[in-house]
Structure 1
Amino acid sequence: MTKRPRRNHTAAFKAKVALAAVKGDRTPTELAQQFDVHPNQITTWKGQLLEGAAGVFGQERNEAKEAIVDLKALHAKIGELTLENDFLEGALTKAGLLSAKR
């Protein structure tokens, strides 16, 4: 028995299969034969669709919560790293380990 290579399905394909499963007019086994995926995978995709369906209508926005970034902290870190680089460059140049033409 040969092993099938791992397949990566697109989000559109997963949505199509999950919507077909939500309709309920066919069993997961019939859908698995139609779409050539395992029935357990169809059940997983269906659960993910039902779990994330509320987010489509704006009730739950996980993406917006993750996108919040503290710019002050990032700018402070950039300044700190720039200062360290300048210091080390000067020290290496004085020690003769880094050419001044650089």
Structure 2
Amino acid sequence: MLTILALSGAEVDGSTAIRVLAAVGLPVAAAAVWAVWMAPTSAHRLPNPRRLVVQVLLFAVTGVLAAATLAPWVGAVFFLAATTVFGVLARRDAVTAGRR
């Protein structure tokens, strides 16, 4: 996700300064959101299904940016792959929690 955000930021319309800011700022913002609400060691980690919803939103935004700036297939493949992986992980966590 961070790489796709950086590449997408580098391709936005605008001056070189805007592109550099977007290429650095987008992944930094995504990493900050992840660190605060999704990281396994975060003190403020969201429980599922809220965590999955925020993850899907991050992937959707990344996919839309990639589709708009890189190529539509890049955005679609990224979104589908990432959402599938985290959906499976969320389901596994729910099953594991039910066994406890």
Say whether the fold is shared (TM-score over 0.5). Answer: no
TM-score range, shorter chain: under 0.3
Greater RCO, 1 or 2 (C-alpha within 8 Å, sep 6+): 2
TM-score w.r.t. the length of structure 1 is: 0.26
Tell me which protein shows more helix as a share of its residues.
2
TM-score w.r.t. the length of structure 2 is: 0.27
